[in-house]
């Protein structure tokens, strides 16, 4: 990296990825400056970040939150407050921005992620839903604008590190036979379907290895997170579905692997801490201090692997089937999952209802080619509406299914 600082916009700055991104930036003050931070409604957290990092802009998606933030910022603060999609677009495409961390959770991150790609930015992609919903559109935008996409999910970042790439960091297939996408198995790895039927949101969010937000924690418990990552891997690395294999690795030490034609398998290892892939993305092609403790292989002692059980975790199967169907099926799968997970977190449905809602939505939706953002957004909206109707069925005690 040259001596000139890179200018960074962090989308989703108050979430776990955003907080860890700012931690890495703080450890490397001579290499980065923060142009803008963006969040939804977390005024207290955003205020603290603005005071600590002095960004030029802060964007709150909620207008009331933006007004409150503006009122609470000291008069001498350098930060200007914007709100809504227009404000988000401004801080993404600004010519002085070099790097965009796309860490807005869920479908809400699609438009800003696409904007960053179309503006030719270095895009640190932590919003997997952008690829799941509009993978063709996003990868096309990256190619046409000459943007650089660096995956931040620990698994895809590991694959990126183990895969050959060209001088621009674009992964190539030289000698690759398949990738092995590791999964921790989540908190319910050893639970029966009857036990998962009684699972609470707090139990689903108690991940054994990673500290994450509640939505992604539930996705990890259901293995839908791995299903979304399966889809993501196919898009990022231009792989056919049969070139991606999910392997449960409960220690979360090997973050993923690449298998080559000559029998070699390259693995990226490290302690389960998101600051490692974040630092890799921020510093690429150089390595940065991340604050992550070195891996102690002796104390780790053992590494276990097993095949995922799709009979207990049908969300993984549903994601694979959505890839096979193609078109907007992946966007529908993601939308129905978001609706179902939100309902589960509100104690409105059971954990085992999540895949039921997703599967019924996929069965009833018309699947079309995602030729434009508008087509994707329409499919997303219709799937959410349909999934909402199936929630009503799950809420009736007589129709709740105890086993999938």
Architecture per CATH, 176-395: Orthogonal Bundle (1.10)
Report the interhelical angle of 373-395 vs 128-145 (nearest 10°): 180
Give the chain's end-to-end CA distance (angstroms, integer).
51
**SS3 label, residue 32:** strand
Q: Which stretch of DSSP H or E encloses residue 11?
A: strand 6-11
Amino acid 141: pLDDT: 95
Tokens of 132: 């799941």
DSSP string, 57-107: EEEESSHHHHHHHHHHS-TT--PEEEEHHHHHHHHHH-TT--EEEE---SG
Spatial separation of the C-alpha atoms in residues 311 and 283, rounded to whole Å: 41
Amino acid 2: pLDDT: 52
Tokens of 11: 């989308």
Domain 6-152 has CATH 3.40.50.720: yes
Mind listing the pLDDT tens digit of every residue in the chain (404 residues)? 456 899 999 999 999 999 999 999 999 999 999 999 999 999 999 999 999 999 999 999 999 999 999 999 999 999 999 999 999 999 999 999 999 999 988 778 888 999 999 999 999 999 888 898 899 999 999 999 999 999 999 999 999 999 988 766 678 888 999 999 999 999 999 999 999 999 999 999 998 877 778 898 999 999 999 999 999 999 999 999 999 999 999 999 999 999 999 999 999 999 999 999 999 999 999 999 999 999 999 998 899 999 999 999 999 999 999 999 999 999 999 999 999 999 999 999 999 999 999 999 999 999 999 999 999 999 999 999 999 998 877 665 434 444 33
Amino acid 127: pLDDT: 87
363 vs 212, 366, 367, 386, 402, CA distance in Å? 31, 8, 10, 11, 20
260 DSSP 8-state letter: E
195, 343, 102, 31: CA torsion to nearest 10: -60
Nearest to 404 by CA among 248, 187, 197, 190: 197
Per residue in 250-274, pLDDT (tens digit) is 999 999 999 999 999 999 999 999 9
Per residue in 73-90, pLDDT (tens digit) is 999 999 999 999 999 999
**SS3 label, residue 225:** helix
- Confirm whether pTM is higher than 0.85: yes
CB 222 within 8 A of CB 310: no
Q: Which stretch of DSSP H or E encloses residue 124?
A: strand 122-125
Q: Which residues contact residue 221 at a Cβ distance below 8 angstroms, ignoring those fewer than 6 apart?
A: 186, 187, 188, 199, 204, 205, 207, 351
| Beta-bridge partner residues of 122 | 99, 148
Q: Which residues contact residue 243 at a Cβ distance below 8 angstroms, ignoring those fewer than 6 apart?
A: 176, 177, 178, 179
Spatial separation of the C-alpha atoms in residues 285 and 280, rounded to whole Å: 8
Tokens of 204: 């689903």
Backbone angles phi, psi at 276, to 5 degrees: -65, -55
Q: Which residues contact residue 154 at a Cβ distance below 8 angstroms, ignoring those fewer than 6 apart?
A: 255, 256, 272, 274, 276, 277
DSSP string, 310-327: TTT-HHHHHHHHHHHH-T
Domain limits, the chain: 6-152, 176-395
Amino acid 174: pLDDT: 84
């Amino acid at each position: 990296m040259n001596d000139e600082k890179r200018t960074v916009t962090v989308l989703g700055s108050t979430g776990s990825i955003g907080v860890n991104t700012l931690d890495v930036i703080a450890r490397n003050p001579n290499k980065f400056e923060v142009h803008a931070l963006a969040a939804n409604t977390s005024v207290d957290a955003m205020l603290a970040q603005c005071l600590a990092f002095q960004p030029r802009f802060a964007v709150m998606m909620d207008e009331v939150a933006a007004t409150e933030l503006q009122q609470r910022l000291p008069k001498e603060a350098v930060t200007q407050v914007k709100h809504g999609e227009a404000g988000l677009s401004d801080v993404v495409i600004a010519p002085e921005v070099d790097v965009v961390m796309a860490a807005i959770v869920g479908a809400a991150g699609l438009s800003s992620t696409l904007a960053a790609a179309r503006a030719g930015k270095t895009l640190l992609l932590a919003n997997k839903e952008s690829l799941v919903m509009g993978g063709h559109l996003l990868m096309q935008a990256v190619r046409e604008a000459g943007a650089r996409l660096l995956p931040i999910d620990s698994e895809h970042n590991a694959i990126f590190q183990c895969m050959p790439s060209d001088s621009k960091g674009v992964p190539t297939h030289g000698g690759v036979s398949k990738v092995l996408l590791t999964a921790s198995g989540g908190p319910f790895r050893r639970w029966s379907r009857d036990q998962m039927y009684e699972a609470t949101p707090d139990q689903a969010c108690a991940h054994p290895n990673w500290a994450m937000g509640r939505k992604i924690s539930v996705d990890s418990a259901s293995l839908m997170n791995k299903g979304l990552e399966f889809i993501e891997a196919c898009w990022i690395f231009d792989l056919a579905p049969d070139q991606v294999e999910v392997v449960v690795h409960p220690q979360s030490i090997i973050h993923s692997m690449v298998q080559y034609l000559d029998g070699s398998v390259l693995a990226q290892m490290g302690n389960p801490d998101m600051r490692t892939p974040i630092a890799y993305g921020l510093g690429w092609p150089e390595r940065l201090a991340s604050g992550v403790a070195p891996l102690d292989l002796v104390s780790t002692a053992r590494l276990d692997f097993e095949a995922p059980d799709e009979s207990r975790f049908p969300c993984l199967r549903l994601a694979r089937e959505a890839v096979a169907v193609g078109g907007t099926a992946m966007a529908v799968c993601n939308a129905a999952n978001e609706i179902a997970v939100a309902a589960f977190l509100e104690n409105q449905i059971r954990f085992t209802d999540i895949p039921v809602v997703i599967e019924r939505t996929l069965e009833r939706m018309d699947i079309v080619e995602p030729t434009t953002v508008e087509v994707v957004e329409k499919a997303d909206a219709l799937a959410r509406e349909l999934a909402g109707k199936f929630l009503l069925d799950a809420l009736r005690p007589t129709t709740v299914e105890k086993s999938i």
